Amino acid sequence: MNTEQLIERAKEYISQETNGQFRTEVEQLLSRNDLEELNERFYTDLSFGTGGIRGIMGGGYNRMNTLMIQRASEGLARYIEKNGVLDKKGEKSFALAYDSRNNSALFAKVAAQVMAAHNIRVYLFTSLRPTPELSFAIRYFGTTSGAVCTASHNPKQYNGFKVYWSDGSQIVTPHDKGIIEYVGKVRGDFLSMDYDEAVNKGLIQLIDEEVDVAYLEMVERQVIRPEVLIQYGKEMKIVFTPLHGTGAYLIERTLKKFDVPVITVPEQREPDGNFPTVEFPNPEEASALKMAIDLAKKEGADLVIGTDPDADRVGLAVRQGNEFVLLSGNQHGVLLVDYLFGARKEMGTLPPDSAFVNTVVTTNLQRRIAAAYGAKVYETLTGFKWIAGKIREFEAAGTPKFIFGCEESYGFMIGDEVRDKDSITATIETIEMTLYYKSQGLSLLDRLNQIYEHYGYYEETLVSKYFEGSSGTQTMGRLMDILRNNPAKEIAGILVKEIRDIEDGTTYYPEIGEKKKNIDLPSSNVLQWILVDGSIISGRPSGTEPKIKFYASVAEAEGIGISEAKARVGKKIEGIRSFIAAQIARVE
């Protein structure tokens, strides 16, 4: 894009942007003739993808701002008018929530005004709420659609607009492609109704306690052994951090209901979009839980729990002697699969046609455990919209009954009343599970080792590489092309048995040089290398951030002892990480 085009697009943006802060940013860039920054902000439009839009906040077409929210909301409103189902009241409606990020409340208000202008009734939370409660609210009111203003666990510079459909799940085909098409046609012709006028006309209906109560009742319904919480809850100390996000209110309220004491990290309890005490507000990052762990050591706590800003993900650290061990999302999921299916089976509440679902990049150990309890197991693409899609299939067929779904990135869905990952429900079930094992003289780490002794030792690793800027997407695409066109025959000295390409649904067998179309999953830019020892490496560009991710799950069979198994797996992981680093180096 040449200089003249950049300046023309910047001036066009200024003429349409109603927010003074974002408009001034671009005006200042023009006055300084900062062509490099103008190019970053205007070389493309921030695209509405399969889940909505997400990006760095600021003025410009390639940034998150009020104009881009208005465009997205306008396109979505037009799509709802044409294709949306009627709600319980026989009208088109929309549920809307927002988290603690800077501008989230503003973006939600702007989106509500656009929806109201289209005569779509908006159920808008009066203050910040977790993403899983938004999913629940869609189902509670039976709305046509919904959205939450959040960038989940991304750095503070980011925000987003995540869109849901009438079943409480993030949008999937055909709605995702349809909405993308409608949004793409919007330029400066969006509608907007005055906020106070919309409230007075009932087109914006403010919600809070009614949904809170119903949601928390749903959380209580997922508890399997309430007597464990009531009887032993006071015996355990829990330190919790919402990482300046939305989690404190509902988690504290839920635990109070069962009389389970919790110590919330005071410096991180209040919502703050600047996330002043953490570099990344992500419970996957050890540094994010440092303050909570330090407090737990001081208080003599047993457990540390942390949720991300929109409280859909949950991290866990468990006391071991005087230290705390951070569990990975895979390990946490392994424990929950084992407990949820095992406890229900013991209590006689596990349906004979129960189902467990996880994603292609999540450990196979979870599927093995669920199958051992008699459950049917399924795998999906990465993302809870695909897990929710399986639930729709089950409901349409009348069987099986969904019990639990999870993915490695600290996301867990317990029961089917929320159709997205839900840290609130996962937290109460994690505490129940911990108390149950404590009553049996076991810690969570003890139980995890018992699982490893029975099924074999599994360990996972993740390698992420950011590719920022206008060339980042092309670089990631080039890397995936290189990997496809040069199929590895061995990795870390281990022969490659299969290479699965989810994009075209094929499996390549290096030993015989054959390719077969045999993968029954929606097309997605994912490659998987299955090694002869059962190790699995998966590579995919992130759908929400400018980075590529490589996941590796490595296992050793049972019977050789955990210490020896860990040593062997460690060496394999070293080799696999070296292989991944070498591939990334090819495009740097």
Strands 238-241 and 263-264: parallel
Contact 129, 242 (CB under 8 A): no
Query: Tokens 């074999």 — which residue?
Result: 456
SS3 for 52? strand
DSSP state of 47: P
Q: Which is catalytic among the residues 93, 104, 152, 423?
A: 152
- Residues 29, 32, 33, CA angle at the centre, nearest 5°? 80
Whether 166 is a known active-site residue: answer no
Distance CA 57, CA 39 (A): 15
**Element holding 454 (H helix, E strand):** helix 444-455
CA atoms within 13 Å, Cβ hemisphere of 12? 13
* Structural contact between residues 413 and 384, judged by C-beta atoms closer than 8 angstroms: yes
DSSP calls for 306-364: EE-TTS-BEEEEEEETTEEEEEPHHHHHHHHHHHHHHHHHHHT-S-TTEEEEEETTS-H
The amino acid at residue 185 is K
3-state DSSP assignment of residue 523: coil
Residue 199: partners with Cβ closer than 8 Å, 6 or more residues away: 206
Cα separation, 191 vs 70, in Å, equals 8
275-279: long-range contacts, CB 8 A cutoff, minimum separation 24: 275/156, 275/243, 275/244, 275/309, 276/244, 277/244, 278/243, 278/244, 279/155
Task: Find tokens 């009020």 and name the residue.
Answer: 66
Alpha helices, DSSP H only, in 185-301?
195-200, 209-221, 226-232, 247-257, 266-269, 290-299
Catalytic residues: 152
